[in-house]
Structure 1
Amino acid sequence: VIMDMRENHLGIMETERKYDVKHNVISKWERIFLEEGAEGLMKERRGRASKVDGIAKGRPPKLDKKN
């Protein structure tokens, strides 16, 4: 899809109509392609991305009660 879009100078909306794929998905694929190349599109990505800021996964930390 992305290769066709780039080779034929198609816009995201044209590509969306041609392949019946939502524009936000095409934008995501294009971003991955530009950052990681075609190999990046072959990686299986599921679920939410893990946090990078060091906060543990799961429940947020409890906040102190203010009276």
Structure 2
Amino acid sequence: QICSIAFKVLSLEQITANVFQPNIASIRVLQKNGFKHKGTLPNAVVKDGNDYDLLIYGLTKETI
């Protein structure tokens, strides 16, 4: 898994990913790879005139 390599080679403590609320496919990919929901920024993104929440996911080297 690329995240394992990133933790080892780059000595990272955490990897974060941001995703728009309605992007269910990306949310599932993150969850499947061990990312945990860390927080939500309500109405943080405006796209095509619509406000969307921004979900923040994180993965720590301890959880791999």
Q: Compute the TM-score of the two structures, normalised by the length of structure 2.
A: 0.22
| Structure with the bigger percentage of helix | 1
Higher strand content, 1 or 2: 2
User: Could you say which structure has the greater relative contact order, defined with CA pairs below 8 angstroms and 6 or more residues apart?
Assistant: 2
